[in-house]
Amino acid sequence: MGHLETVYDALTAAHGDEARWAFGTGFDDPLAGVDTALPAGADPADLGAYCLMLGDDALVLSQRLTGWITRAPELEEEVALANIALDLLGQARLLLSRAGSCGVLGRSRERAGATVPDEDALAYFRDADEFRCAGLVAAPDGDFGHTVVRLLVASTWRLALAARLRGSRDPVLAAVAAKAVPELTYHRDHAARWVLRLGDGTAESHRRAQAGADAVWPLTADLFTPTDVERRLAGERVGVDPTDLRDEVRGVLTQVLERATLAVPPWPGDVPPRGRVGAHGPELAVLLAGLQGLSRAHPGATW
């Protein structure tokens, strides 16, 4: 064997076709053996739009959490938040890839070039008004107390949803949900432990946790308001009507806050789902500028 230029060359030479593991991509495919055909009777446009909503939620929350790397109160917590962000990124990739396979790319593929995978085209080459994430994840970051309360709410909601989606008539959604349930269980429990620690801690940590809850609670308003797409897919046993999640999610959140000696803020009334139709504040565009900058400057680049 001749001289090898880099350690990656050496790993490739040593492991042959299995060398992908060295670059972090040679893991089991969670969709291996899953029937990827569209479920009978489901509108591909509806399924694509639904996967886009859930994929955008995961992608944007993942990006929010990565902003805490080097800023978290403990080194161990930086690792934990990074791992949670990676879990969400994995969920986003699968969901955005499914959305692309349903034909929702449109001009994103044209702008990105046909060589870019579907999930990359959707993540990097859409503007803020084309994203369908909920206001809960699109809202700007606060302090650490705000972050763990938002993570608690988001993971509790996504876990309740994923548990039901395991029975979806779309085999891909069902497989993605089955993979996500144990991940989201950890996310929820990790956030709950922090909320308990802060709420029942010092006077200052209690104040910050309560301020976080007061700031996050209004953002739950559109989580339980279904779009027409969600209603149709729920009726076809492909998706879930988010109103069915309300009692479970509110029950879990109430229990955690009360155990943390925090006051449960008033629950907001139903409002139109603004984020699901692309109505976002300027903070999402700021976040996307950081997420998308490199890919937009060098579309289709490899290294």
pLDDT digits (tens, 9 = 90+) for 176-232: 999 999 999 999 999 999 999 999 999 999 999 999 999 999 999 989 999 999 999
Diameter over CA atoms, the chain: 69
- On the CB side of 159, CA atoms within 13 Å amount to 21
Identify the pLDDT of residue 144: 96
Is the model's pLDDT at 56 over the cut of 90?
A: yes
Give this prediction's pTM: 0.87
Domains, in order of start, for the chain: 44-297 (1.20.1260.10)
Identify the pLDDT of residue 249: 98
Identify the pLDDT of residue 31: 77
Is the model's pLDDT at 21 over the cut of 70?
A: no
- Single-letter residue type at 49: A
Encoded tokens for 33:
């053996």
Identify the pLDDT of residue 26: 45
- Say what percent of the chain tops pLDDT 70: 86
- Single-letter residue type at 208: R
Q: How far apart are CA 260 and CA 19, in angstroms?
A: 47
Helix and strand totals (H; E) in the chain: 12, 0
Is the model's pLDDT at 110 over the cut of 80?
A: no
Q: How far apart are CA 174 and CA 166, in angstroms?
A: 4
Using DSSP, state whether 207 is helix, strand or coil: helix
Lowest-confidence region among 24-38, 115-129, 144-158, 192-206: 24-38
Segment 38-50, tens digit of pLDDT = 889 899 999 999 9
CA geometry: angle 303, 75, 192, nearest 5 deg: 105
Using DSSP, state whether 139 is helix, strand or coil: coil
User: In whole numbers, what is the pLDDT of the chain averaged over residues?
Assistant: 88
Identify the pLDDT of residue 97: 93
Q: How far apart are CA 221 and CA 157, in angstroms?
A: 12
CA geometry: angle 223, 226, 231, nearest 5 deg: 145
Segment 237-284, tens digit of pLDDT = 999 999 999 999 999 999 999 999 999 999 998 888 899 999 999 999
Mean predicted confidence (pLDDT) in 51-58: 97
Task: Categorize the per-residue pLDDT at 303 as very low, low, confident or very high, splitting at 50, 70 and 90.
Answer: low
Identify the pLDDT of residue 33: 81
Q: In Å, how far from its chain's centre is CA 184?
A: 10
Q: How far apart are CA 113 and CA 290, in angstroms?
A: 21
Structure-model confidence comparison of residues 237 and 2, the more confident one: 237
Cβ atoms < 10 Å from Cβ of 42: 20
Torsion sign, CA atoms 31, 277, 88, 153: negative
Q: What torsion, rounded to 10 degrees, do the Cα atoms 195, 220, 210, 79 define? A: 30
Q: Do the Cβ atoms of 148 and 194 come closer than 8 Å?
A: yes
Identify the pLDDT of residue 23: 36
Whose structure tokens read 């608690």?
152
Task: Categorize the per-residue pLDDT at 34 as very low, low, confident or very high, splitting at 50, 70 and 90.
Answer: confident
Identify the pLDDT of residue 1: 42
Among 233, 228, 220, residue whose Cα is nearest residue 269: 220
Among the residues of 67-130, which ranges form H helices? Answer: 75-101, 107-112, 118-124
Encoded tokens for 199:
């709420």
Is the model's pLDDT at 297 over the cut of 90?
A: no
Q: How far apart are CA 117 and CA 96, in angstroms?
A: 10
Q: Measured between alpha carbons, how far is residue 277 from residues 49, 129, 131, 145 in Å?
A: 10, 8, 8, 29
